[in-house]
């Protein structure tokens, strides 16, 4: 019997997925992204065991967690910090993704005080409209960074798909290469080209990922085994490295449509219900505070997710041959959004297996 919600992480599957991605990319280095797991050291070690050459996360707290766990691999800070955090950045991160020269000035000051050199990848916006300089502004940024004594501009990068849903293709990746080539002419030396995230694996499969790209930042596809463009399985990766289970706390036969005047639910929505007659329903002890109910698929296809409040998940279990027992666990495969909440919630136990 289960007493509380639990997410189970199969580290061997994460290591195998990492190895498959690394092998598929060949000479392109993989930065394993741990942010959906809140910088889990166990997940980080599995990625490194699978061949990731570095680790990336968007939060300094997570990078510190990795360092405190004894991980010595290069760490990338994937979200630009505010200037006031510069000292913490140069202490924890080897590389940061940057688009604001004010922030880079602060990193230079902090690196000088710490007696280190800090590496920066200049980010350019190719249409997804998340972070990045517009291409015309890059030469001024490069000139300013090159004047700094403790900052090394090591690469050009971009982010695609995460915000605007823009797919990496021959056009925008070709534009990235052209921008990087111009930057190399200005600097007089070769730069690393960080050609995006998990969505660039689709470009690899379609044969449009340029060979000149030598770095990708991969998280979701390694961890969940899916394309971030289609959310379908990709590269033969395993899609069940993460499962979440929660115990049944009620199982009753009830009407399928609420009775009375309908108003907003707890989250301001106006739910719609189909009248399917009397149905057996189970409630498990997990809710929107812990997981995205739209982003979980029951392992048993006879179970249907009906909805959730902040702390209850309501299931239709009428198709099961017998009612689930109170305390019995129901298991689901989580999506990216569901996994994000599961790892952020302090109310969900994390169980690592096959480490």
Q: Is the pLDDT of residue 266 over 80?
A: no
Give the pLDDT of residue 272: 81
Q: Could you say which of 190, 224, 258 is where a domain stops?
A: 224
Which among 312, 296, 209 is positioned nearest to 304, based on CA atoms?
296
Q: Does some domain include residue 298? A: yes
For residues 308-320, one letter each, b for 16 or more C-beta atoms within 10 angstroms of the residue's C-beta and e for the rest, the string is beeebbbbbbbee
Q: Does some domain include residue 1? A: no
Both 192 and 331 in a single domain? no
Q: pLDDT digit string (tens) for 74-133?
A: 999 999 999 999 999 999 999 999 999 999 999 999 999 999 999 999 999 999 999 999
The residue whose two tokens read 């602060």 is: 106
Both 249 and 201 in a single domain? no
pLDDT band, residue 313 (cuts 50/70/90): very high
Q: Is the pLDDT of residue 262 over 90?
A: no
Both 210 and 271 in a single domain? no
User: What percent of the chain has pLDDT above 70?
Assistant: 100
Q: Does some domain include residue 38? A: yes
Is residue 183 within 8 A of residue 142, CB to CB? The reply is: yes
pLDDT band, residue 267 (cuts 50/70/90): confident
Q: Is the pLDDT of residue 184 over 90?
A: yes
Known catalytic residue: 257?
A: no
Give the pLDDT of residue 99: 98
Q: Name the token pair of 303.
A: 């179970």
Q: Is the pLDDT of residue 45 over 80?
A: yes
* 35, 254, 257, 350: the active-site residue: 35
Read off the pLDDT of each residue in 9-34 and give the average, rounded to a whole number: 98
Q: Does some domain include residue 44? A: yes
How far is residue 165 from each of residues 88, 144, 158, 185, 228, measured CA to CA in Å? 32, 31, 13, 31, 9
Q: Could you say which of 194, 224, 254 is where a domain stops?
A: 224
Which among 39, 32, 1, 2 is positioned nearest to 14, based on CA atoms?
32
Angle between helix axes 41-49 and 11-25 (nearest 10 degrees) is 40
Q: Could you say which of 224, 252, 267 is where a domain stops?
A: 224
Give the pLDDT of residue 179: 98
Q: Return the CATH number at 279.
A: 2.40.37.10
The residue whose two tokens read 């971030």 is: 228
Give the pLDDT of residue 302: 98
Mean of the per-residue pLDDT values of the chain? 97
pLDDT band, residue 270 (cuts 50/70/90): confident
Number of structural domains found in the chain: 2
Q: What does the alpha-carbon distance between residue 337 and residue 290 come to, in Å, rounded to a whole number?
A: 11
Give the pLDDT of residue 30: 98
Q: Is the pLDDT of residue 33 over 80?
A: yes
Both 145 and 284 in a single domain? no
Both 316 and 186 in a single domain? no
Both 278 and 171 in a single domain? no
Q: Name the token pair of 126.
A: 């190719």
Q: Does some domain include residue 233? A: no
User: What percent of the chain has pLDDT above 90?
Assistant: 94
Q: Return the CATH number at 135.
A: 3.20.20.10
Q: Give the range of the structural domain holding residue 125, as residue numbers without chain letter.
A: 11-224
CA 136 to chain CA centroid, Å, is 30
Label residue 62 exposed, middle or buried (CB < 10 Å: 0-12, 13-18, 19+). buried
Give the pLDDT of residue 72: 97
Is residue 301 within 8 A of residue 333, CB to CB? The reply is: no
Both 68 and 136 in a single domain? yes
Q: Does some domain include residue 175? A: yes
Both 146 and 216 in a single domain? yes
Q: Does some domain include residue 234? A: no
Both 136 and 247 in a single domain? no
CA 121 to chain CA centroid, Å, is 19
Read off the pLDDT of each residue in 297-303 and give the average, rounded to a whole number: 98
Both 116 and 198 in a single domain? yes
Both 218 and 264 in a single domain? no
Q: How far apart are the first and last CA of the chain?
A: 24
Q: Which residue has the higher pLDDT, 260 or 39?
A: 39
Which three-class secondary structure string do you get for 123-191?
EECCCCCCCCECHHHHHHHHHHHHCCCCEEEEEEECCCCCCCCCCCCHHHHHHHHHHHHHHHHHHCCCC
Give the pLDDT of residue 13: 98
Q: Is the pLDDT of residue 320 over 90?
A: yes
Give the pLDDT of residue 224: 98
Q: What does the alpha-carbon distance between residue 282 and residue 265 come to, in Å, rounded to a whole number?
A: 19
Q: Does some domain include residue 235? A: no
Both 210 and 269 in a single domain? no
Q: What does the alpha-carbon distance between residue 221 and residue 238 come to, in Å, rounded to a whole number?
A: 10
């Amino acid at each position: 019997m289960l007493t509380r919600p639990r997410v189970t992480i199969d580290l061997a599957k994460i290591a195998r997925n990492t190895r498959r991605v690394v092998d598929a990319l060949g000479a392109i280095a993989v930065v394993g992204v741990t942010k959906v797991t809140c910088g889990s050291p166990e997940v980080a070690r599995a990625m490194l065991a699978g061949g990731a050459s570095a680790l990336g996360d968007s939060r300094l707290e997570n990078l510190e967690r990795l360092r405190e766990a004894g991980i010595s691999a290069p760490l990338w800070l994937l979200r630009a910090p505010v200037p006031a955090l510069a000292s913490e950045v140069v202490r924890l991160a080897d590389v940061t993704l940057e688009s604001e020269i004010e922030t880079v000035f602060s990193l230079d000051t902090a690196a000088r005080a710490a007696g280190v050199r800090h590496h920066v990848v200049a980010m350019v916006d190719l249409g997804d409209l998340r972070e990045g300089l517009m291409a015309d502004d890059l030469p001024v940024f490069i000139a300013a960074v090159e004047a700094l004594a403790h900052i090394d501009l090591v690469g050009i990068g971009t982010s695609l798909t995460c915000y605007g849903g823009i797919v990496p293709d021959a056009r925008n990746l070709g534009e990235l290469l052209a921008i990087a080539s111009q930057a190399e002419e200005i600097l007089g030396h070769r730069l690393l080209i960080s050609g995006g995230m998990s969505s660039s694996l689709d470009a690899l499969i379609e044969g449009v990922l340029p060979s000149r790209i030598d770095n990708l930042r991969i998280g979701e596809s390694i961890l969940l085994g899916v394309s971030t463009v289609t959310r379908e399985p990709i590269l033969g990766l395993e899609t069940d490295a993460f499962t979440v289970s929660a115990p049944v706390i009620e199982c009753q036969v009830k009407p399928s449509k609420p009775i009375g005047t309908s108003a907003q639910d707890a989250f301001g929505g106006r739910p719609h219900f189909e009248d399917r007659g009397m149905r057996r329903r189970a409630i498990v002890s997990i809710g929107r505070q812990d997981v995205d109910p739209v982003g979980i698929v029951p392992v048993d296809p006879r179970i249907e997710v009906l909805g959730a409040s902040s702390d209850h998940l309501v299931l239709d279990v009428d198709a099961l041959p017998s009612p689930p027992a109170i305390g019995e666990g129901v298991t689901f495969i989580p999506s990216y959004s569901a996994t994000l909440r599961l790892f952020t919630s302090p109310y969900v136990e994390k169980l690592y297996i096959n480490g």
